[in-house]
Copies of this chain bind each other. A is one copy, B any other.
Amino acid sequence: MSTVWEDNYSYTARNVRPSPVREMLSVIKQPGMISFAGGMPAPEVFPVDKFYEGAHVLKDDGKNLLQYGTTEGYPPLKEFLASFTAERMGRTVGNDEMLLTTGSQQALELFASAMIDRGDFVVTENPSYLAALTTFYNHGAQFLGIPTDQDGMKVDLLPAAIEKARSEGKKVKFIYTIVNFHNPGGATMSLERRKKLVEISHRYDIPIFEDDPYGYVRYEGQHLPSIFSFDDKGGTLYAGSFSKILAPGSRIGWVTGSTEIIRKMVVFKQAADLCSSPICQSLVYEYCRKGYLEEHLPVIIDNYRPKRDKMEEALRKYLAPYGITWVKPEGGFFFWLDMPGIDCRDLFKRAVEKKVAFVVGTPFCVDEAAGIDKARLNFTFVQPDVIEEGISRLGQAIAEMKS
Write the residues of chain A forming the contact surface with B, with a CB cutoff of 8 angstroms. Answer: 1-13, 16-19, 22, 25, 40-41, 43-44, 46, 48-49, 51-52, 55, 58-59, 62-71, 102-103, 105-106, 108-109, 113-118, 120, 131, 134-135, 138-139, 173-174, 201-202, 205-207, 233-235, 243, 246-251, 258, 260-261, 264, 266-268, 270-280, 283
Contacts and interface: CB of A to CB of B under 8 A. Distances in A.
A278 B51 CA distance: 14
A5 B264 contact: yes
B270 A9 contact: no
B48 A62 contact: yes
Given A247-B67, A249-B279, A250-B66, A273 B135 contact: no
Contacts of A6: 260
Contacts of A174: 8
Instruction: Give the oligomeric copy count.
Output: 2
A12 B25 CA distance: 36
A51 B7 CA distance: 43
Nearest to A266: B18
Contacts of A274: 103, 105, 131, 248, 251
Tell which of A68, A115, A174, A207 has the most Cβ of chain B within 10 Å. Answer: A68
Contacts of A41: 67
A52 B58 contact: yes
A276 B105 CA distance: 11
A124 to B, nearest CB: 15
